[in-house]
Structure 1
Amino acid sequence: MPADRFAYAIARSNDPAGQWQAASHPFRMHRLHRDPRGVLRMHTSTVILQRLQDELMRRLAVLDTAAKQSHRIHHLDFITCLPDRHCFDRLLASHLQITPAPTGLLLIDIEHLKLINDAKGRTIGDKVVAEIASRLRGIGTRTAAFRLNGDGFAVIIRDCRNQQHLDAVANKVLTAMARPLGGFQDVLPRVTIGGALIGNVYLDPGMLRRNANLALCHAKETMRGGYVAFERRLSKDTARRMRSLRLVEAALASDSLVPHYQPVVNIRTGQTVGVEALARVIGAGGQVVPAEEFHSALQDPSVSVRVTDRMLGRIAEDFRAHLDSGGPFQHVGINLSLADLTNADLSERLARTFGDHGVPLGHLVLEVTETVYLDGNSVGIAAEIRKLRDQGLLVALDDFGTGYASLKHLQSFPVDIVKIDKSFVRDLPSDRSSVAIVEGLIGIANRMGMKVVAEGIETTEQADFLRNAGCTLGQGYLFGKPVPANQAAQRIVDNAPPVDARDELVPC
């Protein structure tokens, strides 16, 4: 076909471009012409249809768009429509590589999402998650939010100028979360935040994540519902905490985590009315490891729950043996952490553990610190404690006076016993401020019909003052240090007052 006819045929063709075979079998065009010397020469041209090329490029573009959409959908959280951890890791690394500028990172954890799911239902829990994501989107134009896992979020702050800039964004997040969830006034989307800043010299995304995570861990240990920025000292604190965790893990594995019992005494008569069970680790040589060496490990919720389970089993076993031998006391105090109280099956665990040993729950005193009432889900925690009280357990507010809004807790939450913190007892009776505070606390608790236990009593002068001030019960080294179960009962019997000096048993 002559060249001009062939071009005309292409231009007028109505066939779909995909029907042409030119892409796999190109058309060849041959043209005779004379060169400058008059010699006839054959010129061959290969023709590829432009329509096929355009269609091919269009289809490739469609496939590329579909692939990108599929990637976004695959790495987009369904509930929040935020990018997931995969996108976070990739974008943080690429941002630091492409844009070498100071960058801030906030790691954010929702507090007690599991408890909200259990108490309100997963639908409400999903609404809390979605609402938090929505509020994070409105934090600022130079920020990018991600959902890392079930209760974890991250916010990258681009061009984060300095520490004050990072702190300002974190506080803006906390302010945004201060509003109740619409339609559920008792549900606050409460979060804990750890933040870190990296300069424009060492742009290591791994370091930035580690530092922010250290800050988040410290925030969860010391100020849940607040914000902590990374400092170098946190690395040392983490190393110490890791040693503590290894100690507790080894103690759980070797069954060397045991309860020791300290007496709670009627100050007027000297009669032991109960004991408090305190966790102790027995070292390889039989020595008792001080509690401060492993206490930080109990800030980890998963570790705390495992330690509580181990302690409950041993306490139930010890107390059953004590009752069978006609022991001198009828109540044992057990310490519960925030992690225990936010565990939905706590009441079932207690009933099962002590029921297996035939110990009625009425013998138990649950000791909780004020920090559990400062939690964002305090309403749910109070409901759990009321459920336990309905089963016959007593509730003691431990370390009273050291928390925020202490007196409000006496009015708002279920409490039977107030334990005055040893920091107020230490300087009695010489310190006027301590005298005023302790007398006031004793007077308020007595008028509200609550028992009062003074902790940390070490001298007879302290005991005399407390007795005269109206405090009935006391605990401290003056009456006995924590000892193993096989020593506790005998020591109590040995130190028992004469029969005619005993008053009626007062529950601790």
Structure 2
Amino acid sequence: MEKQEDDFRRSLDYVKNWPQGPRDDFVLHALDCSAIVAITDTRGRILSVNSRFEEISGYTRDELIGNDHRMLRSGQHDRKFFREMYRTIASGHVWHGEICNRRRDGSLYWVDTTIVPHISESGKVTSYVAIRFDITARKQAENHLKSSRQKLQHAVNTDFLTKISNRLHFSHTLRKTLRQSSAGYICLALLDIDTFKTINDTSGHDSGDRLLRKVAEKLQSFQNDSCFIARIGGDEFAILLTGDCPALFEKILLEIHEQMRFSFRNRTMTHACTVSIGYVRVPLVDAREKALLKCADLALYAAKTSGRNRIREYHPVMEEKLDHAARLRRRVQTGLRNQSITVFYQPIFSLSTPGNISFEALLHWDHPQHRVLSPQHFPEVFEDPRLTLTLNTFVTRQVMQDMRKLREQNIRFERIAINITSCDFEGSDFFRKVALLAGEMNIPLTSLALEITENIFSRPHHRQIEQELDTLHCQGIQISLDDFGTGFASLTHLKTITFDAVKINRAFVAGLERHETDAAIIRGVIDIVHSLGRKVVAEGIGNATQVRALLEMECDFVQGDFLCEAVPVMDIPAALEKIRYQALLPPAAKPA
């Protein structure tokens, strides 16, 4: 290669210093061994070629001489390319570049080309000498390398499952958009599949993968120059919108949200697919990468916690709520350490056997700035699964310790009920932990009850929960279905779940006197549950009239602040002494 370049430079110097018209034989003889040489007139007609030109082009000398040089054009270069080249050589200057030509058989070849204009004594360009080197192998290697790089880049930027852009490509695109643009608006939306975990856990990962691919396919139909789509992890997708009309962003997101409502069928069942979307939109000049991601994430969190299947736009109040929730969780953790988080007990009375009393354990927080708070005053705390599990574990241990205290004081009770959540069943050893703790405290499992809500069975691992509950029930632990009537498919749960009692939600009890519908629902629930051989507890009792009405309906147990407020364990004896429970009952129902 070095020898060819040296020969080329010597030949070029000679051509530049020609004293007069073309000397074809002498020039071609000098260059034949290393270069491809052709001489054309100013109109592009070929006047002379060397043997190397014949070899590479596939044309004979007779076919080339007299023809226009355009016969070799490959179509790889546009008109602008040739205009600039002709403008250069026509003005008497040397042009150098790389040209792709077409052989006689139609194949392409690349040549490194230098075109030297011959200028007469009068200063007029009379002809051109083109000296070329075959660089086809190099260009093929470069193209192969370029293709390999493109394939590698595509693989690096593409999600392996859905074949759309991945998180890396999304981050690069977002930064590039923020760096290169300053006019207009930008909208970052995050989309989360509401039903993904349920489908993935109940129907298998293959079904989950198919769902992800289907969602990606639907999203990709929206992609264009102003809408970028990527899967950024799990079942979460990013939608990046740019444009001059921010109102259009919401319209597009509404269309996407509507498209994501579809039925997804696997081998055994059909799922209704929905998504939650959170987004933020700002002028591009004000946009910052970290702020956009944080705000869109907060909006998505708001969409999911407000019931899912929703679109929420970021508002500063969302950040305030999140900060408030974080502060609240930190204070609750402090409360656990300084023992301001305690357990109170509210009696549950039997209407058929007035002396028969159980208790429900209720978490209470002796707040430093407020009165004693019950969990409904700090629901944000229970959005954190780890903290929820910590609190539930604390309550379970405290209840068993207090059971021992009550027995030592000879206070008779049937059971103490503990509220549990799906967090307690995240592992597969809930029963083992409860049994070990009961054994450590010398507490019989038959004195323990667990209250669960219906939404626990909408969780992906509901089958595991059902199995755990069966095990607990077989060991003598009572299972109560709490807040009955407020969940989904309540009657179905009565058929499929192992339970001993149903607790009617206080909302129905509160309307017992005012609304015939509430009274009819309570009466119907009592009849159904009794027909299954189970008991009914009405909670939230507010007055004596409600007690009497429930007694007439043959409700089994009642509970509420009117009868007795929740109290600490040490106050239970005094509280029971003050209860005027029997005075609330009609004479016929009072014990002899």
1:9 partner SS: coil
1:361 aligns with 2:445: yes
Q: In the aligned structure 1, how far is the partner of 2:402 from the partner of 2:373?
A: 21
Aligned residues, how many? Answer: 466
Q: In the aligned structure 1, how far is the partner of 2:275 from the partner of 2:457?
A: 16
Q: In the aligned structure 1, how far is the partner of 2:446 from the partner of 2:209?
A: 39
Instruction: Give the C-alpha shift of residue 311 in structure 1.
Output: 2.2
Listed as ranges, the matches of 1:61-100 within 5 Å are: 62-74=144-156, 76-95=158-177, 100=184
Q: In the aligned structure 2, how far is the partner of 1:207 from the partner of 1:421?
A: 43
Quick check: 1:170–1:195 contact (8 Å CA) kept in 2?
no
Q: In the aligned structure 2, how far is the partner of 1:312 from the partner of 1:203?
A: 49
Quick check: 2:162–2:213 contact (8 Å CA) kept in 1?
yes
Label 1:249 to 1:146 Cα distance change in 2 as closer, same or farther (>3 A). farther
What is the one-letter code of the residue matched to 2:219? I
Label 1:104 to 1:470 Cα distance change in 2 as closer, same or farther (>3 A). same
What is the one-letter code of the residue matched to 2:388? S
Equivalent residue, structure 1, for 2:498: 414
1:179 partner SS: strand
Quick check: 1:137–1:145 contact (8 Å CA) kept in 2?
no
Give CA deviations for 1:424-456 in whole Å, capped at 9, x if unaligned.
222442443333332232222222322111111
Instruction: Give the C-alpha shift of residue 344 in structure 1.
Output: 4.2
Equivalent residue, structure 2, for 1:20: none
Q: In the aligned structure 2, how far is the partner of 1:126 from the partner of 1:146?
A: 21
1:460 aligns with 2:547: no
Label 1:154 to 1:415 Cα distance change in 2 as closer, same or farther (>3 A). farther
2:219 partner SS: coil
Instruction: Give the C-alpha shift of residue 290 in structure 1.
Output: 4.2
What is the one-letter code of the residue matched to 2:258? N
Listed as ranges, the matches of 1:359-438 within 5 Å are: 359-375=443-459, 381-438=465-522
Listed as ranges, the matches of 1:261-272 within 5 Å are: 261-272=345-356
1:10 partner SS: coil
Q: In the aligned structure 2, how far is the partner of 1:389 from the partner of 1:154?
A: 45
1:265 partner SS: strand
Give CA deviations for 1:365-403 in whole Å, capped at 9, x if unaligned.
222223234456655554454444344333222222223
Listed as ranges, the matches of 1:300-319 within 5 Å are: 300-319=384-403
What is the one-letter code of the residue matched to 2:534? M
Select between 256-265 and 133-142 the one with higher mean Cα deviation: 133-142
Give the TM-score taking structure 2 as reference length.
0.66
Select between 202-211 and 454-463 the one with higher mean Cα deviation: 202-211
Equivalent residue, structure 2, for 1:439: 523
Q: In the aligned structure 2, how far is the partner of 1:189 from the partner of 1:353?
A: 41
Label 1:242 to 1:473 Cα distance change in 2 as closer, same or farther (>3 A). same
Bigger relative CO (Cα 8 Å, ≥ 6 apart)? 1
Equivalent residue, structure 2, for 1:137: 217
Q: Any stretches of 5+ residues in structure 2 without a counterpart?
A: 1-6, 12-26, 37-50, 53-119, 122-130, 583-588
What percent of counterpart residues are identical? 23
Quick check: 1:271–1:497 contact (8 Å CA) kept in 2?
no
1:194 aligns with 2:277: yes
Q: In the aligned structure 1, how far is the partner of 2:324 from the partner of 2:177?
A: 33
1:135 partner SS: helix
Q: In the aligned structure 1, how far is the partner of 2:455 from the partner of 2:306?
A: 10
Q: In the aligned structure 2, how far is the partner of 1:354 from the partner of 1:148?
A: 46
Q: In the aligned structure 1, how far is the partner of 2:273 from the partner of 2:338?
A: 38
Equivalent residue, structure 2, for 1:171: 258
1:340 partner SS: helix
Label 1:405 to 1:146 Cα distance change in 2 as closer, same or farther (>3 A). same
Q: In the aligned structure 2, how far is the partner of 1:407 from the partner of 1:352?
A: 34
What is the one-letter code of the residue matched to 2:312? A
Instruction: Give the C-alpha shift of residue 359 in structure 1.
Output: 3.1
Question: Which of 364, 367, 378 matches 1:280?
Answer: 364
Equivalent residue, structure 2, for 1:17: none
Quick check: 1:112–1:377 contact (8 Å CA) kept in 2?
no
Q: In the aligned structure 1, how far is the partner of 2:434 from the partner of 2:162?
A: 37
Quick check: 2:278–2:301 contact (8 Å CA) kept in 1?
no
1:297 aligns with 2:384: no
Label 1:10 to 1:164 Cα distance change in 2 as closer, same or farther (>3 A). same
Q: In the aligned structure 2, how far is the partner of 1:287 from the partner of 1:170?
A: 44
Instruction: Give the C-alpha shift of residue 276 in structure 1.
Output: 1.2
Quick check: 1:445–1:451 contact (8 Å CA) kept in 2?
yes
Instruction: Give the C-alpha shift of residue 420 in structure 1.
Output: 1.2
Quick check: 1:110–1:189 contact (8 Å CA) kept in 2?
no
Q: In the aligned structure 2, how far is the partner of 1:271 from the partner of 1:197?
A: 60
Q: In the aligned structure 2, how far is the partner of 1:253 from the partner of 1:7?
A: 92
What is the one-letter code of the residue matched to 1:216? L
Equivalent residue, structure 2, for 1:125: 205
Q: In the aligned structure 2, how far is the partner of 1:74 from the partner of 1:352?
A: 51
Quick check: 1:111–1:191 contact (8 Å CA) kept in 2?
yes
1:262 partner SS: strand
1:210 aligns with 2:275: no
Give CA deviations for 1:285-306 in whole Å, capped at 9, x if unaligned.
8952343332222022232222
Q: In the aligned structure 1, how far is the partner of 2:229 from the partner of 2:439?
A: 48
Question: Which of 31, 49, 54 matches 1:7?
Answer: 31
Instruction: Give the C-alpha shift of residue 348 in structure 1.
Output: 3.7
Q: In the aligned structure 1, how far is the partner of 2:177 from the partner of 2:465?
A: 42
1:230 aligns with 2:317: no
Label 1:62 to 1:363 Cα distance change in 2 as closer, same or farther (>3 A). farther
1:414 partner SS: coil
Label 1:210 to 1:263 Cα distance change in 2 as closer, same or farther (>3 A). same
Larger radius of gyration: 2
Quick check: 1:192–1:216 contact (8 Å CA) kept in 2?
no
Q: Any stretches of 5+ residues in structure 1 without a counterpart?
A: 15-34, 37-47, 504-508
Quick check: 2:276–2:310 contact (8 Å CA) kept in 1?
yes
Name the structure with the higher strand share.
2
Q: In the aligned structure 1, how far is the partner of 2:521 from the partner of 2:208?
A: 41
Select between 468-477 and 259-268 the one with higher mean Cα deviation: 259-268
Quick check: 1:190–1:376 contact (8 Å CA) kept in 2?
no
Quick check: 2:446–2:476 contact (8 Å CA) kept in 1?
yes
